[in-house]
Amino acid sequence: GGQPVDIEYRLVDGRVDICVLDRGPGVPEEEREAVFRTFHRLEPSRSDRTGGSGLGLAIVRQLASANGWTVDLTPREGGGTAACVRVPLDHAAAIAGN
């Protein structure tokens, strides 16, 4: 189950940004780093409704970090969150070549 998401990519300042855009209630600013910790979930009542193990974003950040990329969350205008992996173009070119 879950909510639909959009995926977009764009070239920005020597990197490729790959973003997953949702329309959910968003992630409070004070939680935006915490959600990258293993097994961290937002308040229990919300987690019971939306499910999840608290592993997804932790895994994404670990994989990104291991490859020299970054990941961040930003609020979307009108609600929801953008989760973006930022890949330097030299890394993107190497991936495309494999």
- Can you tell me the mean pLDDT for 75-85? 92
Structure confidence at residue 95 (pLDDT): 72
- Can you tell me the mean pLDDT for 62-67? 95
Q: What is the pTM of this model?
A: 0.77
Q: Token pair for residue 15?
A: 């990197």
Structure confidence at residue 45 (pLDDT): 54
- Can you tell me the mean pLDDT for 27-49? 73
Structure confidence at residue 1 (pLDDT): 52
CB 23 within 8 A of CB 4: yes
- Domains of the chain as residue ranges with CATH: 6-97 (3.30.565.10)
Residue 18 in 3-state DSSP? strand
